[in-house]
Amino acid sequence: MILGWLPGLKWTLLGAVVAACVAYLVYSASSGSSEYYLTVSELRSHTTSGDVRVAGVVQNDVQRSEGGLQVVFTEKDGTASIPVEYHGTLPDIFQPGITVVAEGRLGTDGVFHASAVLAKCPSRFSTTPYTQ
């Protein structure tokens, strides 16, 4: 009864070839570019080098220079905090109290050098989560 559903041998082979290609592409791309997603305290105990993403809450010590293009702030979760340095334009909703995800690496100076800072986008209309 299942036989009627099976495609011909030719297409099964074609499907297998495409599936193998996709599997190879996924494997090579994800082993090359996946990053750890950590909280600040996990970053403290994390050892691997390479880029990571760190989620935490922006503290009330944001310093901007170069017209706002150079930013230094502290990112904190429940127990640990870390200074973050970033060059570039920040998302509009960036301000103390919101959760951001910084992408970059921890330098030997103990400062997290971010290449990108993502803020939680307000996909809903309410302002409540952003003004607390």
Partner 1 sequence: MIGYLGAGALLAGLVMAGFSAVLSFWSGWREDAVFVEVGRRAFYASAAMIVAASVLLEIGLLSHDFSLAYVTEHTDLSTPIPLVAAAFYGGQEGSLLYWALVLALFGSASLVASSALGVRLAAYAAGILAAIETFLLVVLVIVASPFDLLAVTPPDGLGLNPVLRDMGMLIHPPVVLAGFASFAIPFSFAAAALLAGRSDAAWIAHTRRFALMAWALQGTGLVLGMWWAYHVLGWGGYWGWDPVENVALMPWLATTAYLHSSQVQERRGRLKAWNFSLVILAFLLVVFGTFIVRSGVVPSVHTFAVSAIGPWFFGFLFVCLVFSIGLLAFRAGSLGSSTRAAPTVSRESAFVLQNLLLIGVIAVVFWGTVLPLVSGMLGQARVVGAPYYERAAGPLFVVLLALMAAGPLLPWRHAGSSLLQSLRWPLAAAGAVAIVLFAAGVRSVPSLLAIPLAAAAGTTCLVEYSRMGMKLRRSAKGWAHAAAVVARKRRRYGAYLAHLGMVVLVVGIAGSHFWQQEKDVSLMPGGQVSVAGYTLTYTGAEQTQLADHSELVGAMRLGDQTLEPARATYPSLGGQALTHVAISSTPIADVYIVLAGVNADGSASFQIFVNPLVSWIWAGGAIIILGVVLGNVGERRTVFELQVARAANPQPA
How far apart CA 132 and CA 122 sit, in angstroms, is 14
Grouping H, G, I as helix, E, B as strand and the rest as coil, residue 97 is coil
Token pair in block for residue 15: 């499907």
Q: Nearest CA to 120 among 102, 104, 98, 105?
A: 98
Q: Does 68 bind partner 1 (CB under 8 A)?
A: yes
| CA distances in angstroms from 82 to 14, 88, 120, listed in the order given | 51, 19, 19
13 binds partner 1 (CB under 8 A): no
Residue 130: how many CA atoms within 13 Å on its side-chain side? 15
Residue 110's SS3 state is coil
Of 5-13, 78-86, 104-112, the segment contacting partner 1 by CB under 8 A is 5-13
Residue 63 engages partner 1 in binding (rule: CB under 8 A): no
Least Å from the CB of residue 10 to partner 1: 7
**Residue-level length of the chain:** 132
What is the token pair recorded at 116? 């990108």
Interface stretch with partner 1, choices 73-81, 87-95, 104-112 (CB under 8 A): 87-95
64 touching partner 1, by CB under 8 A: yes
Q: Show the site string, 112-131: x = touches partner 1 by CB under 8 A, - = not.
A: ------xxxxxxxxxxxxxx
| Contacting residue, 18, 44, 63, 107, with partner 1 by CB under 8 A | 18
Q: Amino acid identity of 57?
A: V
What residue ranges bind partner 1 (CB under 8 A)?
A: 1-5, 7-8, 10-11, 14-15, 18-19, 21-22, 25-26, 28-30, 32-38, 42, 53, 55, 64-69, 87-89, 91-97, 101, 103, 118-131
